[in-house]
Structure 1
Amino acid sequence: MDVVEVVPGLHLLPLGIANAYLWHGGDGVTLVDTGPPGSGPAVVAALDHLGLRRRDLRRIVLTHFHDDHAGAAAELASWASAPVVAGRGDAAFVRGDVPGPLPSFTEAERALHAVVAADLRPAAASPVDQEVDDGQVLGAVGEAVVLAVPGHTPGSIALHLPRHGVLITGDTVAEHEGRAILGPFNADRAGAWASLQRLAGLDVDVACPGHGRPITSAAAAALRRATDPFGSAP
């Protein structure tokens, strides 16, 4: 696995089919998303590559409950004693209290999902120690502002780091061949598109999507040009 510095203090961890991001701030490390089940050793290897240890992982932030993003949350929280943070609307799904809603697939998405999720195991239920709402500031994550971006899932969140010009989008946005697109597999496609438009209104230089490569220049313009290649967005 290549650990890629996106901006100083922020690294991309490509974990199988999904991305995670490590933010190394003054009070330790925050992991944004965890990859699919079984990603614990890869996260440990990434920490080691950066000269960090397990105990340096201070918190885990989940952008949404899907197995490829929250799949290793229970494992990582158990050995790092790291609290898990999730959007209020997805917290019950992460905990396993109730099943989360299934995506409403387009025909193109159905074929894609059959390929990319063929070997994806279900995530174990994970504790959620902090439920966050729109506008809440996570001071430990570079003064990140939580943005509620419902649509991909009911409680999807993004993190905006205005001092750094960075946006971590979760699956509201994906990147394909250098372009920003609406992330596929949405519970509410119209809601996801509206959330993408909200993100496109931010003044950001860098966008870190849940799938694909980070957009490291003129990200705001790239978000404004985003398309929906798998369906018909409103």
Structure 2
Amino acid sequence: METVQVTPHIWMFTFTAGQAYAVRMRDGAGWALVDAGLPGNEQRILDALADLGARPEDVKDIVLTHFHLDHSGSAAALAAATGARVLAGAPDAPVIRGDVPGPPPVLEDWEVPLWDSVQAGLGDVPPAAPCRVDRELADGDVLDWGEEVRVLAVPGHTDGSVALHLTSSGVLFTGDTIANHPHVILGVFNTDRRQALASFHRQAELDVQTACFGHGAPIVGGAGEALREAAAGQPVA
């Protein structure tokens, strides 16, 4: 796992598939995690947080942008180790809790070989342990991380995908609804491509300077313009 500082308050943790983020709250009251990585990465994340000066009990929130394995896999172990509350979009919460299976993506023809390759690469990764969800998030909910964090429901990748907009610092966490690999694109493996495109366009309308993706390098500076340019090339049918 590699740790990369994105802004003075945000660090990215990269895994063999996907990435997660640590956010130092502006009021000094603690830390938040956005996503939790593949199963088995909890100690790596805790060690990285310790290197940043954070104790396990300093982690107050773990927000899961959606239920997929590379984002929720270590959530249960991290929640147990830190005592943090776990937050996720309401439609994805039953999947994260292990109550129901997650719906599969509806693949475009060109996505099939990519999907097969990704699944082969995850062949030895255990399934995610069921994880409690302490708060089910809805569109327009607001979190307090020493600044306003506005929740956007951005369905399409999964039914319960959420994005986070840190309004005063101009930061957007997109989860897998948008990727930057090798350039800004609609995320792949969606349950509803039309919905996903609408969610992409909604996020592109925001006034943001920094965009942090579930896959691909963050954009620091001018992120809103980059998102709008990319969205313009992918109109909603």
Report the TM-score, using the length of structure 2 for normalisation: 0.92
Shift of 1:183: 0.5
Identity of aligned residues (%): 49
| Whole-Å separation in 2 of the counterparts to 1:199 and 1:95 | 27
Shift of 1:116: 2.3
Counterpart residue number, 2:13: 13
The correspondence for 2:116, drawn from 109, 114, 117, is 114
Letter in 1 for 2:199: S
The correspondence for 1:182, drawn from 183, 186, 209, is 186
1:150–1:156 CA contact under 8 A, matched in 2: yes
| Whole-Å separation in 2 of the counterparts to 1:169 and 1:206 | 11
Counterpart residue number, 1:210: 214
- 29-38 vs 4-13, which moves further: 4-13
Letter in 1 for 2:222: A
| Whole-Å separation in 2 of the counterparts to 1:154 and 1:109 | 19
| Whole-Å separation in 1 of the counterparts to 2:230 and 2:103 | 25
| Whole-Å separation in 2 of the counterparts to 1:147 and 1:137 | 9
RMSD: 1.9
The correspondence for 2:140, drawn from 118, 127, 135, is 135
| Whole-Å separation in 2 of the counterparts to 1:141 and 1:101 | 35
Report the TM-score, using the length of structure 1 for normalisation: 0.94
Counterpart residue number, 1:3: 3
Counterpart residue number, 1:225: 229
1:67–1:121 CA contact under 8 A, matched in 2: no
Q: Which runs of 5+ in 2 are unaligned?
A: none
Counterpart residue number, 1:125: 130
1:144–1:159 CA contact under 8 A, matched in 2: yes
Would the alpha carbon gap of residues 226 and 122 (structure 1) be closer, same or farther in structure 2, given more than 3 Å must change? farther
Structure-to-structure mapping, 1:154-193, within 5 angstroms: 154-177=159-182, 179-193=183-197
SS at match of 2:50: helix
Shift of 1:16: 2.2
Shift of 1:37: 0.6
| Whole-Å separation in 2 of the counterparts to 1:180 and 1:171 | 12
SS at match of 2:219: coil
Cα deviations across residues 51-103 of structure 1 (Å, max 9, x unaligned)? 22222212210000011100111111111111100011111111111111100
1:103–1:185 CA contact under 8 A, matched in 2: yes
Letter in 2 for 1:11: W
Would the alpha carbon gap of residues 160 and 141 (structure 1) be closer, same or farther in structure 2, given more than 3 Å must change? farther
- Give the paired residue count: 232
SS at match of 1:164: coil
| Whole-Å separation in 2 of the counterparts to 1:27 and 1:204 | 24
| Whole-Å separation in 1 of the counterparts to 2:73 and 2:109 | 26
2:197–2:235 CA contact under 8 A, matched in 1: no
- 136-145 vs 186-195, which moves further: 136-145
Shift of 1:232: 9.6
1:23–1:141 CA contact under 8 A, matched in 2: no
